[in-house]
Amino acid sequence: MPKPTTLSFVRTRRTAAELSQAELARRVGVSRQTLNAIETGRQVPSTTIALQLARALRCTVDELFRLPGGPLAHVRLAEPGQVSARVSVGRVEGALVGHPCRIDARSADGRVVEYDAESRRALIELFSETADIEHNLLIAGCAPLLGVVSDRIARRYRNHRATWIYADSSRALELLAGGFVHVAGMHLASEEDAQAHVRAAQTAFPGERTTLVNLARWRQGLVVAPGNPRALRPGSGLGEPELRRALRAPGSGARRVFERAGGGEVFVRESDCIAADHAEVARLVKWGIADVGVAIESVARTYDLDFIPLSEERFDLLIPESRCDDPAIARLIDLIDGPSFRNEAAYVPGYDLSLAGHASTVAAVSG
């Protein structure tokens, strides 16, 4: 991986100044090709040109160029509209990809140095050696149990690790199909629609066989304040105008459960809150900001809230057949199917692990 002697922020400054590459090159007295090489870090400018660039962009030379503190990598960003300073990085199907870290993330692989919106690629300054990101298994999903899985992989396997990329079921499938993660977790299948995961797999990968591996079963339901002061139950009452609701994003499993419980599509009101995850639903109810939301039973227990079950669901991991021979995937399945993981996960309330590690093959369908 190339390591330029300097990092260039010329493009960022030029874009902020609303100057075209051709116009800035004219002002500085260099060709457009030369300026492009400077912006991409392929050429280090002379002192004279650096000073001229700083004058044209009304900044200091130090604001345009600096020495890198670690290895550099060009990656595809999974969330180009949410460029974050800190990112997790891994290699999927031969390409490096980056995911913005959550605010509460304990660690990151690097930071965004420069982002090109046109190509949706970013230059990342890594915090660790490049070998570390080559053995990083990226798992997308919304189950908190994935955090346990990631920690156990790092502890059990030398020089290998996993990163939990938080995403609801629909977004996790998009990331998997787009080549941004190795594995996607989803909880769209319930007792009312047991084949939902099979259809989702065939839609995401119509020309390829896939494998579904069960991580756990859980219950989703209404999360309400202790004692259920509003006496809430499934039905039309969930649409009452004065009810403050903690909703998940459209396409998420929790949003679908809420719509089934309320008897139809949910239209967001000014009094509603959009929660990022199951835990945020519980926090909004705990703090009295919302009266009700849908989340998994484990977070309701964690926050000492009442839980009204609505649906028992499977949380399955989806793996394309082309990746099943990857040793990292084999380690993941072996870990989930092992007794040590079950023993640890048994102490996390609200999960049924009786089918953990059970795998099934989904046939390919023609697009």
Start-to-end C-alpha separation, the chain: 37
**104, 132, 163, 181, 253 from 171: Cα distances, Å:** 20, 26, 16, 11, 11
Quick check: 322 pLDDT over 80?
A: yes
pTM (global) more than 0.75: yes
Q: What is the DSSP secondary-structure string of 266-325?
A: ----TT-EE-SSHHHHHHHHHTTS-SEEEEEHHHHHHTT-EEEEEEEEEEEEEEEGGGTT
pLDDT tens string 246-269? 999 888 888 988 988 887 888 888
Question: What are the residue ranges of helices labelled H in the chain?
Answer: 10-16, 21-28, 32-39, 47-57, 61-64, 130-134, 145-156, 169-177, 196-204, 253-262, 278-286, 297-302, 327-336, 339-345
Summarised one tens digit per residue, pLDDT across range 323-355 is 888 888 989 999 998 888 888 887 777 888 888
**CA separation, residue 196 to residues 189, 258, 314, 316 (Å):** 5, 17, 10, 11
The single-letter DSSP state of residue 101 is P
More confident of the two residues 290 and 9:
290
Segments making up each domain of the chain, as ranges: 7-66, 187-367
> Which residues contact residue 100 at a Cβ distance below 8 angstroms, ignoring those fewer than 6 apart?
77, 78, 79, 82, 83, 84, 86, 87
95-121: per-residue pLDDT in tens? Answer: 999 998 876 666 788 888 777 777 788
pLDDT at 80: 75
pLDDT of residue 105: 65
What CA–CA distance (Å, rounded) separates 83 from 72? 17
Q: In the prediction, which pLDDT does 3 show?
A: 47
For residues 53 and 122, the model is more confident at 53
Q: Is the pLDDT of residue 1 over 70?
A: no
Nearest to 361 by CA among 212, 214, 216: 212
Amino acid making up residue 343: N
Q: How far apart are CA 185 and CA 2, in angstroms?
A: 34
For residue 35, pLDDT over 60 is answered with yes
CA distance 312 to 360: 19
Whether 52 has a pLDDT exceeding 80, the answer reads: yes
Q: What residues are paired with 301 via a beta bridge?
A: none
Higher local confidence (pLDDT), 346 or 277: 277
- Contact 297/305 with Cβ under 8 angstroms? no
Check residue 102 and report its DSSP letter. Answer: P
Angle at 11 between CA 9 and CA 16, to 5 degrees: 100
**For residue 268, how many other CB atoms are within 10 A of its CB?**
11
Domain 7-66 has CATH 1.10.260.40: yes
Confidence of residue 2 (pLDDT cuts 50, 70, 90): very low
Q: What is the predicted pLDDT for the residue at 191?
A: 64
Q: Does position 55 have pLDDT exceeding 80, yes or no?
A: yes
Residue 293 pLDDT more than 70?
A: yes
The tokens for 136 are: 């990083």
Do 29 and 46 form a contact (C-beta atoms < 8 A)? no
| β-pairing verdict for 245-247 and 183-186 | unpaired
Q: Tell me the pLDDT tens digit for each residue of 125-140.
A: 888 766 578 889 999 9
Nearest to 234 by CA among 264, 262, 211, 212: 262
Residue 236: pLDDT over 70? no
- What does the pLDDT average to over 198-219? 91
Q: What CA–CA distance (Å, rounded) separates 324 from 307?
A: 38
pLDDT at 91: 92
pLDDT for res 183? 96
CATH match of 187-367 with 3.30.70.600: no
**Greater pLDDT, 173 or 83:** 173
